[in-house]
A and B are shown apart, each in its own frame.
Chain A
Amino acid sequence: MPQPHPRLREFKYTLYRIFRNPAAIIGFTLLLVFVTMAVLAPYIAPPQYAHNPYLMPHKGFSPTPKPPSAKNIFGTTSGQYDIFYGVVWGTRTAFKVGFFVVCIAGLVGVTLGAIAGYFGGIIDEILMRITDVMWAIPTLVLAMAIVVAFGRGLDKIMIALALVGWRWYVRVIRAEILTLRDQDFVQAAKIMGVSDAKIILRHILPNAIYPVLIMASMDMGSMVITASFMSFVGLGAAKGFADWGQMVALARNYIVGPPDDPLKFWYAIVIPGGCIVLFVLAWNLIGDALRDAFDPKVRRK
């Protein structure tokens, strides 16, 4: 009987491990919903301004949110922006922020970490001391300082978070590589005269990449939280841009309704806020399931 390629077999086993976990199924289902929403955004909520579909349509300027009706199925938030439209297009914004930040940060972090871990010595020392410096200031605080220096805007927030986010990956990948560097298969490749770049890319990284994947998944969530908080504070895109953090900010003055009905405007906070929570939850559940599936200590138990 022909045996399947061992890598394929392991991959199948990994998939089996992941989908045995109910949390992972919830996570992937949520993610699927968000992906569908982002991809089909122009059909679910047809844009009103052809030049910039991310602009939320609004009828009137009244600051008081209006409850859900036939025309605005999720109601309108302060400034009469349609919540449904904002939620749908905000999904695209969230994916854009998450993917951009995690891809850039991951790429930079993995490259630097791999170089530091593989070559060691003075290169390692210099790179790690630079990382230590970056490490000393909390993500949000440093990102805020960079946004202020570059000027406001969602694109600036994304750049700032990418500039700050890479430091996590450096430490994780370096620690992985330090344990792999002296193993026999790497030594063998070296003796056979394989180039350093090829050893890193073909032999070391595939074995060291799993913790990075887990972290990237968790990071998607936390970066979206951080970005939406900066939007909430007022460092994000201009008013009316479909962005969950900004939608929460718009409704901020309406968390308390009139005395006879204190929770009157709940929808203006809970709907965009719920989207942030579910989006982050999806990525965290997936990250957690990946951890269970990849961790060699519990993998075969």
Chain B
Amino acid sequence: MLAFITRRFLLLILVLFGVSVLLFGILMTFSPERRAATYVSSPQQAKDIPKIIKQFGLDDPFYLQYFRWMKEVFKGNMGWSLVASRPVWEAFWTYFPITLEMNLFAAPIVLFFGIWLGTLSGIHRDQWIDHITRILAIIGWSLPTFLFALVLLMIFYGYFQIFSPGVLSDQLKMFIMDNPDTFTRYTGMYTIDGILNGRLEITLDALAHLVLPVMTYVIVVVALNMRVMRSGMIEELSQDYVITARAKGADKHTIHIKHARRNALLPVITVAAQLIAMSMEGSIAVEVVYNRHGLGWWLAESAVQLDMPVLMCICLFMGIVFVITNLTLDILYAYIDPRIRLN
């Protein structure tokens, strides 16, 4: 087991190194003049561009610039964000909690419904409940997140006027801005900060703003989870041990839930990494449409305004998250399923 983890860990470092080279390579497709332009703040300084290129070594060979960049990244200096008009690393921590909050609410719902509906569908294969969930899954799979979010906004915000876009109502936002000392931002997540500060109205308001984003998210992402669970269930139910259990007269519930479902959960772990990638992509669309200023919104806004340092930072962050989850999942998988470990 230790050798397995060590090997995976070394691989992780290799992949992260590759990711950083890839990202830096993308950055380097900009000419030295264009990269120097980010240091210039007025038209008069434009004539200094050759000097800036010399000073920062922007026309040095690739590997020299790469190591210089990596050194800065390790010091926590990711550059300056035009969109946030703050250093990237500092801005990151104000946007990150908004995205994290949404994911924390959505993930359990996705897992619960995915596993529950997938199990039902697998047990009742080719019956009406299976057909309905399959059709819903394929429609959910075909819905572009941004479009679905817009339609939900049209119905709930426009027609019923119950939920509004944003993270918090304007009134409460003003209140927090005006009284910074009565409301401490412990976590940056309004739902949790509201409770910690003893202001439940803020928590409730933030929750109301989370309903539509979480709903969008769940419907688009749950399909994959459901489908994997369904095929896992079907596969397990045709195994010999299930036939044995049936033959000895074990009741249906025990066979389905205790025997088959536990094994059918394994493939769900393998696609968990894909689920995480999907939720990262999903959060971009959701945040853009619902105007929630989180990482996804920041990324889209930075892409439109050609704010390259932000794109690099978020790509790197997502790469790290993805690689670490993969490592965790591999270890988890080897722990749960001894056949993998022994190979």
Contacts and interface: CB of A to CB of B under 8 A. Distances in A.
Interface stretch (A47-55, A83-91, A200-208, A252-260): A252-260
A32 interface: no
B176 to A, nearest CB: 26
Given A256-B158, A269-B150, A145 B23 contact: yes
A248 interface: yes
Interface string A102-145: 00000000000000000000000000011011111111111011
B146 interface: yes
Contacts of A140: 281, 284
List the 8 closest pairs (A to B, CB-CB), nearest first.
A133-B18, A256-B158, A262-B158, A281-B142, A280-B142, A136-B319, A140-B281, A225-B144
Interface residues of B, number: 50
Q: Is the interface of B mostly helix, strand, loop or mixed?
A: helix
Interface in B27-78: 27, 29-30
A285 B134 CA distance: 11
A132 B319 CA distance: 11
Contacts of A133: 15, 18-19, 22
Nearest to B141: A284
A232 B146 contact: yes
A237 interface: no
A281 B138 CA distance: 7
B163 interface: no
A186 to B, nearest CB: 24
Binding site of A, secondary structure by majority: helix, strand, loop or mixed? helix
Given A148-B311, A277-B143, A233 B304 contact: yes
Interface in A131-183: 132-142, 144-150
Nearest to A232: B146
Interface residues of A, number: 47
A256 B143 CA distance: 21
B154 A255 contact: yes
B3 interface: no
B285 interface: yes
Nearest to B17: A133
